[in-house]
Structure formats: structure tokens, C-alpha cells
Structure 1
């Protein structure tokens, strides 16, 4: 559950940068969004592995 909470924090943290990128066209904010999305991908994969392990235990 700890990793899921971290995932929610990352999503909440990129909200402002996403708005800056989509609404204002700020390219640097877009780079930060892309990095955060990569972090989300890694976290999601870790959560998937954890769930599968727990399910099969």
C-alpha cells in the first residue's frame, strides 16, 4: 500500500506542471511531466509485481 500512496503523491505533484504545459505551452513543464510519467510507469510496474506476488502466495 505504501507504493500506491507514493503513486498518488506523484500524480498530485505533476498536476501544476501539466496545467502549465497544456494551458501555457511551457516546454520545461512538459519535460517535468514526462519524467514524472516515467516514474509513474516504474511505480505501477512495482505495484503490479507486488500484487501478483501477494495474490499467488
Structure 2
């Protein structure tokens, strides 16, 4: 559950940069958004692997 909470915090933290990029056309904010999305992707894959491992452990 710890990684899931990290994922939620990461999504919340990038919200301001996403707004700056889409509404104010800030290129630097776009770079930060892309970096955060890559971190989100990696963390989501870690969570998927963890869920699969826990699910299969019971079998």
C-alpha cells in the first residue's frame, strides 16, 4: 500500500506543472510533467508486479 500512496502523491505533485504547461505554455513545466509521468509509469509497473506476486503467493 506504501507504493500506491507514493503514486497518489506523485500525481498530485505534478498537477501544478501540468496546469502551467497546458494553460500557460511553459516548456519547462512540460519537461517536469514528462519526467513525473516516467516516474509514475515505473512506479505503476512496480505496483503491478507487487500485486501479482502477492496474488500468486496465496496459490
TM-score (normalizing by structure 2): 0.96
* Root-mean-square deviation (Å): 0.2
Question: C-alpha displacement at 1:35, in angstroms?
Answer: 0.1
Deviation >3 Å, runs of 4+: none
- Residue 17 of structure 1 is matched in structure 2 by 17
Which whole-Å CA distance do the structure 1 matches of 2:31 and 2:12 have between them? 16
Gaps of 5+ in 2: none
Q: Does 1:5 align with 2:26?
A: no
Question: C-alpha displacement at 1:44, in angstroms?
Answer: 0.2
Aligned residues: 57
Which whole-Å CA distance do the structure 2 matches of 1:48 and 1:19 have between them? 28
Q: Who wins on radius of gyration, i.e. which is larger?
A: 2
Gaps of 5+ in 1: none
TM-score (normalizing by structure 1): 0.99
